[in-house]
Each structure stands twice: as C-alpha cells, then as structure tokens.
Amino acid sequence: METWVLLQNIWFILIGVLFVGYAILDGFDLGIGSLFPLLAKNKHEKDTLYKTIGPFWDGNEVWLLTGGGALFAAFPHTYATVFSGFYLALMLVLFALIFRAISLEFRIHDLKRQKLWDGTFIVGSFLPSLLYGVALGNVIIGIPLDANMDFGGNFFTLLRPFPLLLGLFGLAAILLQGATYAAMKTEGEIQVRARKIAQKLWIKYAILLVISLGISIAIIPEASQKWLAWIFTAIVMVCLLLIRNALFKGNDGQAFLFSSISFGGLWGIAGAVHFPNLVKASNNPTLSLTIHNSSSSELTLKVMLIIAIIGMPIVIGYTIYLFKVFKGKVKTEDKSY
C-alpha cells in the first residue's frame, strides 16, 4: 500500500475516533440538558444536575473542535462541501452550543433570570442532539453534488425520512447516555427518576436500532456485505442486552459503560458501511467525496500524524485525569453552586 493511501486510511480512523470520543463524552451532558425538565423538579435538584457536568462539559467539546479541525486539515474538500451544504443546520447547532455554554456560566451569576438560562440550556442541548444524527444520516445516504464538489440541494433536501430517522435514533442514544450518567452521578430522587427514564429510553433505543438497521440494509444493499459492520452490530446488540441487565439491577456504572461502548459501536457501523466515502453523492456515485479524492497532500497528512501522536495522548490523559479527580457521586446535600 502506498504511503499516501495508508495515511488517508489512518486519518479516516483517527477522525472517527475523535468523533466517537465526542459522542460518548459530550453525549452525556447533552443528554442531561435535554432531559433536564424530567430529571429535576426544583432548584436544588437543578443545581445538582449542573454540578454533575460542570467540570466536564467544556473539555468534552474539545473533542468536537479537534475532530472538526482534523477533518478540515486532512480532507479539506469534504469539510468545505459539508459546511457549505449543511450551512443552516450547522449554524443552528453552533448557536445552540453557544447559548448552551452561555447559560451554564450566566446561570450561576444572573440569579434573576435563572429560568431563562435553564431554558436556553435545554434548547441548546436538544437541538444538537437531534441534528447530529440528521447530518450523519444525510452523509451516509448521500446528498446531491455537482462536478465541483458543491452541494446541489437546499435545507429541505436534508429533511428526508432516513436522515430524520437517524436523527431520532441519535437523539435516543444521547438521551440514554445522559440518563445513565445522571443515575451514576446522583443519589436520592434524581437517581430514581434517572433510572426509570433510562429503562423507558432503553426500549425506544432498541426499537429505533432495529428499525434503523433494517432500513439501512434495504436502502444501502452494500451495507450487508461489510463484515466489519456486522462485528460492530454484534457489539451494539450485546451492549444493548447488558445495558438492560444493568439498568434493572441498579448497576448504574455498568449501564453507563455499556451505553458508551454501544455509542462507539454505532459509529463503528457507520464508518464501516461508509468507507471509503466521506460524503456520498446521491445523484451520481462517481461524484462522491472519498478519502482518496478529497484529502490533503501526503506531506500534510504526515505532519498532522506526528502532531496527533503527540497531542492525542495528552487529550486522552487529561480526560482520564479529570474523571479521576471528580469521580463519585455529587452529594445532594451540598447546597453550594
């Protein structure tokens, strides 16, 4: 295998790893934000939930920034096509994340408008949770592209049934991630609510998983021929059973762990089915953006790989250290926030 081709394959995997890290880590605080009205019934419970994600949320979003930056540097044509074609949707996500970050900080100091900031926190969590799956669904099923690699549709082109289905499925995965994390980090009434919500979400997650897999095989026939996708599917299915077992036994840490592994497995399925495509052209497969026709030069990929070998262990180490420092439950009797 040529060095350039090898580097393109490596960067496809590395960018996938970065997005998996983001999905697992930011998934739990997006999930908590989306479930906020159901999990917290008074100010003290709201404060408790904020404290469960307070030390982590900004560090979690580093994975998204790093993944986006890596996509821009390694596959610039794909980055340009996606960000121009999904411009409105991505702007909605961007503004939602901005207002979500603002609400997390302003809520502590602007006591008169805490309800307002709670509202922006909920909306700023829910919108990305839904739109991420919609965007991924469009990338997988394909979008109209012209010979210049430009998006040939409009905003409503993105709102097709399959992407919307994946949007709901992605939302269910994020909500389950948030509910299991809340059950793991809290105690008392919040923990009881989180467990009950997680049990209900598990059923919805399982149903949407089966439907999504069935429709994916029907409309993307080549998906059934990807043996690696079947391996990841098996991992997700096993995790699904283990999540249920952990939930009904009250093993909150295990439920969150298996939810996280399951989330990673979903990305594995998507990557295995989609490879070597980055953005599939629905109108003409020959116009699809792949790791081969949209990558940077061999030198750029080499330099980036050196940076990644140095930088990624630091990011991973910091994340592990952060969770070690703030391990354990958030005590509900602690009134400070």
If you ran DSSP here, which 8-state letter would residue 44 be given? Answer: H
Rounded distance, CA 270 to CA 260, Å? 16
* Alpha carbons 108 and 305: distance in angstroms, whole number: 40
pLDDT range class, residue 334, cuts 50, 70, 90: low
Condensed to tens digits (0 to 9), the pLDDT of residues 15-48 reads 999 999 999 999 999 999 999 999 998 888 999 9
The model's pTM: 0.94
Closest of 95, 89, 96 to residue 33, by C-alpha: 96
> How far is residue 57 from each of residues 28, 107, 152, 236, 322, measured CA to CA in Å?
9, 15, 36, 25, 11
Q: What is the pLDDT of residues 88-135, one digit of tens each?
A: 888 999 999 998 999 988 988 888 888 899 999 999 999 999 999 999
Q: How far is CA 337 from CA 39, 44, 54, 56, 184, in A?
A: 18, 9, 10, 15, 20
What are the structure tokens assigned to 186, written together?
A: 């809290």
